[in-house]
Structure 1
Amino acid sequence: MKPNQRLRRERELRGWSQSRVAQELGTDPATVSRWERGLSFPYPFFRERLCELFGKNAEELGLVQETPTTLPVEESLALPAIDSELSPVLPISPDPILDPTIPLLSAIDGSLIGRDDLLQHIRDQLSDTTRGPAFVALNGLPGVGKTSLAVALAHDPSLQQTFSDGILWAGLGPHPEVLEHLSRWGAFLHVDEASLSNKESCESWAQAIRFAIGQRCILIVIDDVWQIEDALSCQIGGPNCAFLLTTRFPHIALHFAAGNTTPVHELAENDGLALLARLAPHVVQDETESALELVRSVGGLPLALTLIGKYLRIQSYGRQPRRINAALTRLRDARERLQISEPRSLIDRHTSLTPESRVSLQAIIEVSDALLDLPARTGLRSLSVFPAKPNSFSEEAALAVMALSQEVLDTLSDAGLLESNGPSRYTLHQTIADYARVLLEDSEVYTRFVQYFISYLEEHTQDYSLLDQESRNTHIALELAHTRQMHDTFLRGVKASSPYLFVRGRYSEAEKYFSTALELALSLQRLSDATVFLRDLGRIAHTRGNYLQAETYYQRGLQLARQQQDELAISRLLTHLGTIMHRRGLFSESIAYLEDGMLHARHTGDQEQLSYILLGLAQAHGSLDHHKQAEEYAWESLEIAHSLGNGEHLADVLHRLGTLIYERGDYEQALGLLFESLDQASLIAHREKMCHILNNIGCVLGELGDFPQAERYFQEAQELAQQINAQEILCTILGNLGYVANECGEYEKAEPFLREGLALASKIGHSVSICECLESLGTLARNRRDYTQAEKYYQEGLVRARLMNNKRSIISMLTGLGATMTACLRFEDAEHYLEEGLALARDIHRPHQLCNLLYEYGKLEDCRQQPQRARVYFQEMLTMPAIGEEVMARARYGLARTAALEGDYTAAHQLGNISATFFAQQHHRLSKEARLWLDSLPLSQEEKASEY
């Protein structure tokens, strides 16, 4: 084809752009450009519009195609003989067909948001005619945008070029006029109506149209199909045609297109907000959170968002806050959202509705609802009590709540109202659920829902993966049990949900339930239940680091348990009180509570409770550095835990035992136990336990000098602790992150961690963590050579440690003070602090702390120019069993400096290089210092000889 200079000249004479012409015609600038360049020819519909627009006839605009009077030989020989009596077809027009009943693209909505990938996928399917006609089907919920996609594709320039002979459209709906569509198509194809054997027969029209299409490339769109027979009546066309069907019924889509069936899903949250912003930009700009809430309230359904957006655009045109807020308030009500509507023009009516109907969510869904039988309609309303998508529910739960047969679920699925969500699981879209819930009248449905899921909680108390799947359903069941005053059921449900809520770290949700249940239990004089809820509230307060509040809950629970003479409850509460005393640094009080609890546990014979108490005693005695006794308790607890086969409890025992063994310096065995504990905790996804275990693994790796790996474990623990708001362990983790950064010489990174950890530990009264943060802050100040500030931190920590009688913290503070005094050249003070710390460390058998003291003592003797005495301390470090590479590297570094003092530069270089290499690999804070020191040394005899 040649370029159409006439069309271009007429446009330019008027000073119009291609965009202006496209806008007037209802197409796009790219199509106008192709007409002018002669790449394509306007369909008759657009040719008439062009003539009207420019006031010229087709010839004056260059819109008349020249057709050959004779066909090439090959083509003429290929034509079949035409029997005028059999064929009602007139000579074929060369003009492409563009069905004028194709809905126009919306002038407001513009291109479809969030559908680019889907549109391209459908284009590819339709264009693939290598194996004959392409059959493509779109199915999805009412209002999900199937017709909009079909309209966009019908106007798509690339598809118009692919199907160069035209596009036919049939909008069917529940009561289609198939004959009307076929006769219209016949007119476009110049079918002689008079020659039809029966012009009132769809079959006669179909045969004639099929013959008229022949080898043409035509796209046939069959929109809003409700019966497969109607779609098949429109399935006419030759081998070069393609068919695009849209329907809300999955079985129709599958029957029509088989593997080329594409489900159309609702919009993602961001795309839904973008659609709302296009329609009501001021509302989204000024009330973003409210707009996002609306997107969620309709589950991203495009029709709902379009109706809401147009309504908000009208209500916000003057940007009056009062009117906008009133509109938003109205839209928060499901009934109002369902009834928001808009009128349609006579030629743009929705095929599922009658001509006089306004388009609304209610009207669109009502059409499907009206076709259901009574059981299916009843079942749909019953299922609306389930939380909407993305929540899902099992077939078993659905049948129990509906009290109907499985056939109802099949009917609802076939109707496109109930979606599958995996084997034997279903989900309801938010708008469908809203519609059905508004019409629900049977209150017994709520009772069946509550009873089913409370029983489910009781049957699967520790089946955490199953409870994860039903989490939203059980939450709603508890809420309904409370609001509907099903008191006994509510109390049962709260007790049954307790293990799951703790394992998943859902403390805020748990606290709300336990507080409500406690108040109810006390009012009903259900003292046994009240004791349980007091204990669980204490556990939450404990986890959050609020020890005084936790103690109050436990003491109240203990009082009630003693009133009822419930020995098992007494034992459990005494165990919790012992743990709280331990956290507060009151180790003797902790042991007293635990030993009292053990008496009650042995009397009841509850082995799991006995194992927990033994574990608590191991922890308390370990803090008092009674290592042998602590490990005996821990091993006994582990033996019981293995016999019980309780993974959650086993994780606790392995963790505590691993920590005790780590504290006495057996790092390899400790890591084995801790990783085994982590495996057990991970199996049940117990996030709080995982926090503690990950933190302790990081501690072991830190003492081994593997700081990068230690930091990774601390970071993972920090992320988990923040997710569940576990403040007690979080302050410890923050202190450890600061410690690692400090050891790596990253002082700017360390300080925020330490200050945040100290603030949190002070807030919750975690004495041990306070001391740890003070020690690290003192070390940070000392590394920065701010010795005055360092001494203040250490002295404050020492006072707190002595008050707790926590010997480990005392040793740490004395070590820091000794190092600080050495740096200040206050050697006598340094010796005083180090001597006290050394005696204490030897007494409680703390290898790592002992090595730290020996290292600082060696440095002190070096500063005093006493290399022989210094060597004794550094050599002793190397004799310690399983002390780790980091300690050995520091010992060798100390020996290297001692050798240099004695003039043995060969040994100094040799030992110094080994240490410096390790420090560099581990990003240790001593890395730079060691390298500078080595560079300052005189050459050894060997190095001097090598220069010659």
Structure 2
Amino acid sequence: MDADIATARLQRGWSQTMLAEALGTTTSMIAAWEEGTAQPSPFFCQALQALFSQDNRAEEQARGENITFLLLPNTTPLPRMRHEQETDSLLVDPSWMGQRTFDPFLPNPPRGANSLIGREELLQTLQQQLLHQRNLVLYGLPGAGKTVLAVALAHQPEIQAHFYDGILWAGLGVNPHISSILRRWSNMLNISLPRDKTTIRQEEWREIFQSNLGQMRLLVVLDDVWQSDAVEALQVGGTECTYVLTTRFSRMARHLNASEAVRIPELNDKDGVKLLTRFVPEVLQQEGEIARELVRAVGGLPLALSLMSKYLGSSAAMHQPRRLQTALSHLRNAERRLRLHVPQPMLEVLSAIPPGAKLSIESVIAVSDYHLPEAARAALRALAILPARPVLLSRAAALFVADTSEDVLATLCDAGLLEQQANDYYALHILIADYARTLGPNEDAPLRLIRYGARFIEEHHNDSAALEHESAILLAALDNAWERQQDTLLIRCSHLLTPNLFRWGGYTAAEELLRRTLSAVERSGQTADRIQTLEHLSTLAYLQGNYTQARTYSDEGLLLARQQQDRERIVGLLTIQGDIAHELGDYAQSERFYQEGLLLARQHNKQEQMSALLKSLGVLAKNRGNYVKAREYYQQGLELARQLDQRDQISRLLINLGVIATELGEYPQAEEYYQQGLELAQQLGHREHICVLYANLGVLADARGDYARAEKFLREGLELAREMGHRERISLLLLNLGVVINRRGNDMQARSFLNEGLELAREIGHRERISLFLLNLGDVFMEQGHQEQALTYYSEGLALARQLGHQERISDLLLHLGTAALEQGQLAQAKKYLQEGLTLARQLRYPQLTCRLLAAWGELYLQQGDFARAQDFFQKMLADTPSGNRILTAHAQYGLACIAANQGEREKARTLAEQSYRTFEALGHRKKSLVGDFLLRLLYPPKNSI
């Protein structure tokens, strides 16, 4: 290295004295290195490499290289001395250097528009704290970007102006050379040291600095701090000196008189993708999902994303798509991600990684791991079998699986390898877990995890909330039970856990668990276990809208249950069979299944099953138009559920009672039912019920004309349904959203929602839902003037509704067909449709539908000029409109305004039309334009009008 030191120094125009001052050593030592009579220590090797490496990067930038690392920016060169023959200006103004001390070891700030992705707000917050001269401790995982923030802070103009006497920098690491740092600072600050001492004690250093610095306002940045005594040794400034400290350990805050340590978080998905794809935007455009997957795979850690972005950038530079695809494939491998590297020096790890070592995520984490006691290293390997963040690990799980003590967990937290969360929870970053797994398996940890999971499931199988808190760990335990073919345990736990997975909407997890359980059952040959597994599989297929598959499972299960005379399973499978037949529109068969199940449940006093079957019979009666019977069934089921304190079933029945109240126009009662049901569902964490309640609250808000609130509820419900993969619920919410958005006048978006929902309804064979989609798509085409297409949809929907015997749907479709015939001038056909529809609606005692049909009759007679009969129908409509339904009221007011105008009562017409318009305008209803045009004609009639 001797010739290299001299060459590098001379290339920069530095004297031996300048280099010695920069390094905090003597000129004679520099001479000895260059002559080869002495070798620099590892500390000085690092310092020399950091100092000299920047010039190469400067040359690369001069050649147009613009790929920089977010976390690892270039270091600042020392002031360049001017030779006599040079005529260019100095790189550093001597007058400025005379006014303040600016540490040449302080790295350059990150460059580029996206150099601080996701850190802008945090940087501003930290800056404000520094400007108030508050010491800062920045801590976080290795590679979180602590150093880059500290560097960025030191280069902020406001910070440099505030700390007008200068900025000092020290990179510490595991084994810092404190005296060299202090000597370097003293040289920079022109502080004279005692010549008669080769060793200066800590107290003497502090006295020397403070007597010389006095009230100088300095900012001191201590980077990568590991030991508290290093912090104490370097706190040599006066009262006006402020410190920024970066570390892996939050406990360092108390050693700096800082109010608290500031955790530097990882990046969110959006910012992470932006950082990952900064050199290859085509990845985001073409492989957006893979980009998001990679961000999540490294937990948003900025250093990992920077390394990967540079790797992708170098692969894309060849302009060969195959190379970029190969690079993406490599990055999806956890071990390759850990070992992806770039050359040193790099800011974040310069003081911790030995000179010449390759920088990688693995090497950065290994520094912390290497300094752990053996018990902590063993615990870390054991914890790696548990799910990583965002899953929180309970203290009980962590202690049991790692077979360790709380002191050992605290050691891991102190090392920055495990995060302590509130309420006795821990979190393990995914990259830490990946790293720990590369150290080799902890043979006993999987068995301890299985034991923990099985015991927890058995002890808490009736406590859904407790199970949900621990669900990720429990599923990991069952994964390990499957891998080790512990069939008996897997089957037993699956039976207990699966109903809760349904409740949470965890259909994907349930499907995988049940697939494995069925294989285990086939190996064990236990018929009772096979029946219960088939019942769960049938329920899952039903919930996912796969009715054919659900029937296949339930047919086999029911046959086996009857052979075994397993009455409880028979009732459960009869209920599922009834639900399937109901969804497929076979109401007669559905009722037979329900009644058989109810009879058997009553014979054996199975009250829980009785309540469920009464609910199902209520839904069936409601769909057949018998609201009185439906409400009777629901109330009976609710009474039983409350006796059993069966909150899940109580919530479900409150939903059904709310539906009845909504359709009967009892809006306050419906709201009360829904809110009670929602409160219970949220307490239970029952995502499926929450989803349904969002849908129903949206329908209720729509009925009241509050479209903005309706859309909000429906979109929240749709998002939840998509997360669960619940195809039937997705279909329902797409339908309701399409209807609400169509009312607001957005035909194209409404058609998009309705077409997507119709396709899904056809896929799952939901015929009742299909008929409803056809009705609403007909409305959209009718409003767009495509009458023939609308009639096709209405006619197909009516034929399907008649097949189902769905009286409410039949009446609604007759209304739409009658309205279409009226617009085409086919009065006789319109009357036929409307008369049949009105008769059915009155039989159903469905006020909203009845009012809409009365309005259609009023419009028919209005067109015929029979104003007396038209007025009679609109007055009846007003009388029958449920309280709170502003849309129907506004519709009736507009009809009566038209009649008044035709009878020459312009003032009455204007008053009614204004009332109608105000309602439609307030609700954002598309009919406001129609009523508005009518008002304009009233106020400014054409000259030839009467």
- TM-score, L = length of structure 2: 0.80
- Provide the C-alpha distance between the structure 2 equivalents of 1:781 and 1:46, rounded to a whole number of angstroms: 71
CA contact under 8 A between 2:388 and 2:428: conserved in structure 1?
A: yes
- CA 1:202/1:458 → structure 2, altered by over 3 Å: closer, same or farther? same
Match of 2:141 in 1: 141
- CA 1:887/1:526 → structure 2, altered by over 3 Å: closer, same or farther? same
Shift of 1:581: 1.6
Matched, 1:51 2:82: yes
- CA 1:213/1:747 → structure 2, altered by over 3 Å: closer, same or farther? closer
Moved more, 771-780 or 426-435: 771-780
CA contact under 8 A between 1:142 and 1:248: conserved in structure 2?
A: yes
- Provide the C-alpha distance between the structure 2 equivalents of 1:208 and 1:938, rounded to a whole number of angstroms: 92
CA contact under 8 A between 1:734 and 1:754: conserved in structure 2?
A: yes
Match of 2:263 in 1: 263
Match of 1:444 in 2: 444
Match of 2:811 in 1: 811
CA contact under 8 A between 1:154 and 1:160: conserved in structure 2?
A: yes
- Provide the C-alpha distance between the structure 2 equivalents of 1:932 and 1:111, rounded to a whole number of angstroms: 56
CA contact under 8 A between 1:125 and 1:260: conserved in structure 2?
A: no
CA contact under 8 A between 2:55 and 2:77: conserved in structure 1?
A: no
Shift of 1:587: 1.5
CA contact under 8 A between 1:462 and 1:500: conserved in structure 2?
A: no
SS at 2:851's partner residue?
A: helix
- Provide the C-alpha distance between the structure 2 equivalents of 1:280 and 1:907, rounded to a whole number of angstroms: 68
- Provide the C-alpha distance between the structure 2 equivalents of 1:534 and 1:912, rounded to a whole number of angstroms: 61
Match of 1:505 in 2: 505
- CA 1:102/1:283 → structure 2, altered by over 3 Å: closer, same or farther? same
CA contact under 8 A between 1:182 and 1:202: conserved in structure 2?
A: no
Match of 1:605 in 2: 605
Match of 1:172 in 2: 172
The AA in structure 2 aligned to 1:51 is: R
CA contact under 8 A between 2:80 and 2:91: conserved in structure 1?
A: no
The AA in structure 2 aligned to 1:177 is: H
Alignment of 1:161-240 (within 5 A): 162-188=162-188, 195-196=195-196, 199=199, 201-240=201-240
Shift of 1:610: 0.4
- Provide the C-alpha distance between the structure 2 equivalents of 1:491 and 1:752, rounded to a whole number of angstroms: 44
- Provide the C-alpha distance between the structure 2 equivalents of 1:715 and 1:26, rounded to a whole number of angstroms: 51
CA contact under 8 A between 1:384 and 1:436: conserved in structure 2?
A: yes
What CA deviation, in whole Å up to 9, does each residue of 1:786-805 have, x standing for no partner? 55544444333332222222
SS at 1:442's partner residue?
A: coil
- CA 1:649/1:137 → structure 2, altered by over 3 Å: closer, same or farther? same
Match of 2:669 in 1: 669
- CA 1:548/1:377 → structure 2, altered by over 3 Å: closer, same or farther? closer
Shift of 1:224: 3.2
The AA in structure 2 aligned to 1:518 is: L
The AA in structure 2 aligned to 1:257 is: N
Shift of 1:807: 2.1
The AA in structure 2 aligned to 1:49 is: R
CA contact under 8 A between 1:651 and 1:681: conserved in structure 2?
A: yes
SS at 2:259's partner residue?
A: helix
The AA in structure 2 aligned to 1:470 is: E
Match of 1:763 in 2: 763
Alignment of 1:554-569 (within 5 A): 554-569=554-569
- CA 1:638/1:297 → structure 2, altered by over 3 Å: closer, same or farther? closer
The AA in structure 2 aligned to 1:851 is: C
- CA 1:439/1:630 → structure 2, altered by over 3 Å: closer, same or farther? same
Shift of 1:759: 3.3
Shift of 1:321: 5.7
CA contact under 8 A between 1:27 and 1:155: conserved in structure 2?
A: no
- CA 1:549/1:49 → structure 2, altered by over 3 Å: closer, same or farther? same
Match of 1:651 in 2: 651
What CA deviation, in whole Å up to 9, does each residue of 1:670-689 have, x standing for no partner? 44333433333333343332
Moved more, 244-253 or 872-881: 872-881
Shift of 1:664: 4.6
Match of 2:538 in 1: 538
Match of 1:254 in 2: 254
What CA deviation, in whole Å up to 9, does each residue of 1:6-37 have, x standing for no partner? xxxxxxxxxxxxxxxxx989999xxxxxxxxx
- Provide the C-alpha distance between the structure 1 equivalents of 2:218 and 2:497, rounded to a whole number of angstroms: 61
Alignment of 1:301-700 (within 5 A): 301-308=301-308, 318-319=318-319, 330-341=330-341, 344=344, 350-355=350-355, 357-461=357-461, 463=463, 465-700=465-700
SS at 2:262's partner residue?
A: strand
CA contact under 8 A between 2:881 and 2:889: conserved in structure 1?
A: no
CA contact under 8 A between 2:384 and 2:434: conserved in structure 1?
A: yes
Shift of 1:553: 2.1
The AA in structure 2 aligned to 1:474 is: L
Please, which runs of 5 or more residues in structure 1 have no aligned partner? 1-22, 29-44, 67-92, 941-948
SS at 2:256's partner residue?
A: helix
Shift of 1:918: 4.5
What CA deviation, in whole Å up to 9, does each residue of 1:573-598 have, x standing for no partner? 11121122222222121111001001
- CA 1:209/1:542 → structure 2, altered by over 3 Å: closer, same or farther? same
- Bigger Rg, structure 1 or 2: 1
- Provide the C-alpha distance between the structure 2 equivalents of 1:766 and 1:48, rounded to a whole number of angstroms: 77
- Provide the C-alpha distance between the structure 2 equivalents of 1:346 and 1:929, rounded to a whole number of angstroms: 68
CA contact under 8 A between 1:275 and 1:306: conserved in structure 2?
A: yes
Shift of 1:323: 5.7
Q: Which has the higher contact order (CA 8 A, sep 6+)?
A: 2
- Provide the C-alpha distance between the structure 1 equivalents of 2:242 and 2:123, rounded to a whole number of angstroms: 16
What CA deviation, in whole Å up to 9, does each residue of 1:440-487 have, x standing for no partner? 432210121233234334444465554554343333333333223232
- Provide the C-alpha distance between the structure 1 equivalents of 2:764 and 2:661, rounded to a whole number of angstroms: 28
- Provide the C-alpha distance between the structure 1 equivalents of 2:483 and 2:92, rounded to a whole number of angstroms: 75
SS at 2:223's partner residue?
A: strand
The AA in structure 2 aligned to 1:422 is: A
The AA in structure 2 aligned to 1:805 is: G
Moved more, 194-203 or 604-613: 194-203
Percentage of identical aligned residues: 37
- CA 1:470/1:198 → structure 2, altered by over 3 Å: closer, same or farther? same
Shift of 1:218: 3.9
- CA 1:179/1:521 → structure 2, altered by over 3 Å: closer, same or farther? same
The AA in structure 2 aligned to 1:803 is: Q
- Provide the C-alpha distance between the structure 2 equivalents of 1:563 and 1:277, rounded to a whole number of angstroms: 61
The AA in structure 2 aligned to 1:211 is: S
- Provide the C-alpha distance between the structure 1 equivalents of 2:644 and 2:908, rounded to a whole number of angstroms: 57
- CA 1:520/1:155 → structure 2, altered by over 3 Å: closer, same or farther? same
CA contact under 8 A between 1:138 and 1:264: conserved in structure 2?
A: yes
CA contact under 8 A between 2:487 and 2:524: conserved in structure 1?
A: no
What CA deviation, in whole Å up to 9, does each residue of 1:102-125 have, x standing for no partner? 566789999555545555555554
Match of 2:31 in 1: none
SS at 1:51's partner residue?
A: coil
- Provide the C-alpha distance between the structure 1 equivalents of 2:347 and 2:825, rounded to a whole number of angstroms: 96
- Provide the C-alpha distance between the structure 1 equivalents of 2:888 and 2:660, rounded to a whole number of angstroms: 20
The AA in structure 1 aligned to 2:813 is: M
Shift of 1:835: 3.5
SS at 1:813's partner residue?
A: helix
Shift of 1:252: 3.0
Shift of 1:345: 6.9
Moved more, 237-246 or 706-715: 706-715
Aligned residues: 872
Across the aligned residues of Structure 1 and Structure 2, the Cα RMSD in angstroms comes to 4.3
Shift of 1:649: 0.8
SS at 1:245's partner residue?
A: strand
The AA in structure 2 aligned to 1:531 is: I
Match of 1:18 in 2: none
Please, which runs of 5 or more residues in structure 2 have no aligned partner? 1-53, 60-75, 942-946
Shift of 1:503: 2.7
- TM-score, L = length of structure 1: 0.80
The AA in structure 2 aligned to 1:433 is: A
- CA 1:355/1:644 → structure 2, altered by over 3 Å: closer, same or farther? same
CA contact under 8 A between 1:702 and 1:740: conserved in structure 2?
A: yes
Alignment of 1:75-154 (within 5 A): 96-102=100-106, 113-129=117-133, 135-151=135-151
CA contact under 8 A between 1:26 and 1:105: conserved in structure 2?
A: no
CA contact under 8 A between 1:140 and 1:416: conserved in structure 2?
A: yes
CA contact under 8 A between 1:197 and 1:204: conserved in structure 2?
A: no
